[in-house]
Amino acid sequence: MEPSFYEFRKIEDAKGNLVAVEGLRDIPFEIKRVYYIFAVTEGARRGFHAHRELQQLLICVHGSCKVLLDDGLTKTVVTLTDPCRGLFVEKMIWREMFDFSPDAVLLVLASEHYNEEDYIRNYNEFLRVCGNKGDLID
Ligand code: TYD
């Protein structure tokens, strides 16, 4: 699958840098929730789920990390290092985040409030629900 990125304008002056991201203007959804992941334990892998409806934009605002995206047919891995670039993660995409640098801060903009019922945390259930023919894990 092809990852989808959004590029944001860096407003740069003698005082430093600023990036603004507006829902429905710079990204394709209204922002209902913001969270950030930081001080990730060395070697830890996060995520391991898909969402039924939630859309998200992932911006590594400091440091770096990798994101595996899986639509049930193909997988791709992207490296996030640029605070001016956001990775769009559509609904029904399995994601895993890993290789966080010790200083990484991963900012996530989300289209919905937190709802545990929107999560699919079982990979085989994800494959069944998304209808793609990936490899079922025994
Ligand atoms: P989870 O989404 O499983 O984290 P990751 O995918 O990065 O491994 O969430 C971890 C915990 O945080 C889980 O107990 C749910 C809670 N949580 C909230 O309370 N609100 C939120 O907006 C998010 C994303 C998680």
Cross-strand bridge partners of residue 34: 109
- Integer Cα distance of 57 and 98 in angstroms: 16
Q: Which of 33, 35, 96 to mutate to test the pocket of ligand 1 (most atoms within 8 A of CB)?
A: 35
Tens of pLDDT, residue by residue over 5-27, are 999 999 999 999 999 999 999 99
Tens of pLDDT, residue by residue over 82-127, are 999 999 999 999 999 999 999 999 999 999 999 999 999 999 999 9
Binding site membership of 47 for ligand 1 (Cβ less than 6 Å): yes
Residue 69 in tokens: 């995206």
Binding site membership of 37 for ligand 1 (Cβ less than 6 Å): yes
* 69: phi then psi, degrees, rounded to nearest 5: -115, 140
What residue spans define the domains of the chain?
4-130
Top CATH class, 4-130: mainly beta
